[in-house]
Amino acid sequence: MNATVDIYNIYFDAELNSVVMEWNGYATSKQFREGTELMLNTLIQNNCSKVLADIRDMTIIGMEDQQWLESSFLPRAIKFGFKVIAIITPTSYFNKVAVESISYKVNKEKLAINFFDHVEDGIQWLKKA
């Protein structure tokens, strides 16, 4: 099942055996959480563990949403089998800092996180992961 709204496009890529998230521009807290939950549901439905997060054009993740990701969403997602994420580095400096600060707090034994400047590099890494 594909879900496309102006802010995000989230779908399962069978060839990559990964959920792909493409984010564009500013997401409200509601949109951010809806899209993130949709990613998890798509991961569960397709019994996969990997995500390609193309957030180059995402502007910012608000502080409350960063805390929600860290304390609520990620522990739950990991329980459901989320193990690997390739993140295409945001061009927005503030979002880059936000995403990196969340990633530093994640238990790397439970969730492998890697940052890439190009989608192709992220895809290659996910294929090996």
Instruction: Over range 56-71, report the average pLDDT.
Output: 94
Q: What is the CATH number of domain 3-128?
A: 3.30.750.24
Residue 73: band (very low, low, confident or very high) from pLDDT cuts 50, 70, 90: very high
Length in residues, the chain: 129
pLDDT tens readout for residues 75-113: 999 999 999 999 999 999 999 999 999 999 999 999 999
- Which residue in 113, 117, 115, 95 sits closest to 50, CA to CA? 113
pLDDT at 3: 53
Domain ranges of the chain: 3-128
pLDDT at 6: 84
* 30 has a pLDDT exceeding 90: yes
pLDDT at 129: 92
The DSSP symbol for 48 reads -
